[in-house]
């Protein structure tokens, strides 16, 4: 048997026929990064948002400082990785397909935008722009706002009289990242070797964060809607689940109490209390907060609490007469 030996020169020529980094993926990454930088922010900075308020470690005091315009003490690092944006794009695509299907069925209500004349209006599954009659229109979900409490957000959709149901919808794509944050018990079972099918079967109800978020949407939508349907789609195998949840204000009363404190604090200048889990400035969430030093009244350099009294007058030594004059001025 003869063994073929590839000489270094031949191996180099072979390597020259391909690229390690590819052609398509680098171009896609550049495109995604450019789109990210050009994208307009979809959240108003002088309001609180259910997507954040529904988290177990939401801090009303943080939102108070943010809305007040307190200077940030650190730059929040954006995650511009192609992987993360690919995840977001996949979630957006999953939302889009359900919204498109409901649109085609004639039951999708919300706000729409015309790409020709930029007109925006609310309607039930329109076929064209009500202003210029262009068919180049897109869905921009259901904007919700409560001015008194300074809360706003966008529900994924609202359906009108679909099989007798009228209410909001919220679409969630469920993958490993979702389980790690929203269902640690199931994620732990996955790490121990449980199959994706068994994990999916173990989801019996919407995750707690999603429930609170949905209840905040229903609270803002009153009295138009009193229920919300959650559609879960698995990223493992595209299987789906549906959960119908009725409006129950009691589930979000603690969140609304904190939001009310923020709203009142913005008028009175009094910051709301820190959440119970913020026991010290060493808390992991507090350490990443851009308003940490302001919140905890910390020194700007060494992290020690700063004095609330007037700063001490520093006098350089000089002749006695100058020192006496400086002290009298102090």
Kindly state whether residue 291 falls inside one of the protein's structural domains: yes
Q: What distance in Å separates the CA atoms of residue 51 and residue 213, rounded to the nearest whole number?
A: 6
DSSP 290: T
Position 303 confidence tier, pLDDT thresholds 50, 70, 90: very low
- Indicate whether 121 belongs to any domain: no
| 129 within 8 A of 119, measured Cβ to Cβ | yes
Looking at residue 41, what is its pLDDT? Answer: 46
Is residue 159 domain-resident? no
- Cβ 177 vs Cβ 183: under 8 Å: no
- On the question of pLDDT at 299 being above 60, the answer is no
- Count, residues in the chain: 330
Residue 20: helix, strand or coil by DSSP? coil
Decide if 8 is inside a domain: no
Neighbours of 73 (CB within 10 A): 14
The residue among 65, 40, 42 whose CA lies nearest residue 153 is 42
Closest CA to 141 of 126, 165, 122, 128: 122
Max avg pLDDT among 129-133, 318-322, 324-328: 129-133
Using the predicted structure, report yes or no on whether residue 90 has a pLDDT greater than 90: no
pLDDT value of residue 310: 35
Q: How many domains are contained in the chain?
A: 1
Do 50 and 216 contact (CB within 8 A), yes or no? Answer: yes
Q: Which of 50-54, 154-158, 181-185, 272-276 has the lowest mean pLDDT?
A: 181-185
- The pLDDT-based confidence of 254 (bands split at 50, 70, 90) is very high
pTM: 0.80
Considering the domain boundaries, does residue 78 fall inside one? Answer: no
pLDDT the model gives residue 187: 87
Sign of the C-alpha dihedral, residues 34, 40, 45, 47?
Answer: negative
CA distance 154 to 220: 10
The answer to whether residues 200 and 237 touch, using CB atoms and an 8 Å cutoff, is: yes
211 HSE (CA, 13 A, CB side): 17
- For the chain, give the mean pLDDT: 83
Question: Cβ of 202: how many Cβ atoms within 10 Å?
Answer: 14
Domain coverage including residue 92 = 50-73+83-106+168-296
Query: How many CB atoms sit inside 10 A of residue 133's CB?
Result: 11
- The answer to the question of residue 315 being in a domain is no
Confidence of residue 30 (pLDDT cuts 50, 70, 90): confident
Percent of all residues in the chain with a pLDDT value above 90, rounded to a whole number = 56
Strands 108-114 and 120-124, sheet pairing: antiparallel
- pLDDT computed for residue 13 by the predictor: 57
Alpha-carbon gap, residue 311 to 330, rounded angstroms? 11
Using the predicted structure, report yes or no on whether residue 320 has a pLDDT greater than 70.
no
Give the C-alpha separation, 34 to 315, whole Å.
Answer: 54
**DSSP category for residue 262:** H
Band (pLDDT 50/70/90 cuts) for residue 279 is confident
Nearest to 47 by CA among 165, 172, 220: 220
The residue-averaged pLDDT of 4-23 equals 57
**In a domain? residue 36:** no
Q: How far apart are CA 251 and CA 212, in angstroms?
A: 7
In a domain? residue 19: no
Q: DSSP per residue over 225-256, as a string? A: --EEEEEEEETTT--EEEEEEE--GGGGHHHH
């Amino acid at each position: 048997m003869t063994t073929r030996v590839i000489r270094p020169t031949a191996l180099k020529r072979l390597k020259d026929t391909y690229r390690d980094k590819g052609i398509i993926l680098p171009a896609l990454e550049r495109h995604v990064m450019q789109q990210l930088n050009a994208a307009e922010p979809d959240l108003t900075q002088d309001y609180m948002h259910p997507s954040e308020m529904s988290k177990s470690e939401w801090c009303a005091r943080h939102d108070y400082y943010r809305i007040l315009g307190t200077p940030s003490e650190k730059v929040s690092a954006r995650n511009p990785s192609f992987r993360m944006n690919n995840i977001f794009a996949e979630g957006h695509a999953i939302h889009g397909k359900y919204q498109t299907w409901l649109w085609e069925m004639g039951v999708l209500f919300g706000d729409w935008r015309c790409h020709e004349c930029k007109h925006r209006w609310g309607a039930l599954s329109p076929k064209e722009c009500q202003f210029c009659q262009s068919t180049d229109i897109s869905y921009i979900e259901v904007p919700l706002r409560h001015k008194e409490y300074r809360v706003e957000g966008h529900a994924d959709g609202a359906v009108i009289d679909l099989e007798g149901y009228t209410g909001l919808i919220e679409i969630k794509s469920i993958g490993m990242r979702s389980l790690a944050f929203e269902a640690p018990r199931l994620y732990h079972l996955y790490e121990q070797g449980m199959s994706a099918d068994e994990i999916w079967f173990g989801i019996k109800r919407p995750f707690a964060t999603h429930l609170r978020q949905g209840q905040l949407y229903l609270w803002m939508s009153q009295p138009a809607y009193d229920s919300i349907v959650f559609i879960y789609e698995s990223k493992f195998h595209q299987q789906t689940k549906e959960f119908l949840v009725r409006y129950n204000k009691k589930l979000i009363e603690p969140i609304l109490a904190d939001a009310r404190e923020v709203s009142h604090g913005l008028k009175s200048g009094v910051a709301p209390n820190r959440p119970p889990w913020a026991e010290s400035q060493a808390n992991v969430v507090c350490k990443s907060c851009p308003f940490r030093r302001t919140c905890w009244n910390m020194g700007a350099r060494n992290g020690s609490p700063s004095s609330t009294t007037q700063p001490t007058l520093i006098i350089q030594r000089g002749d006695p007469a100058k020192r006496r004059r400086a002290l009298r001025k102090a």
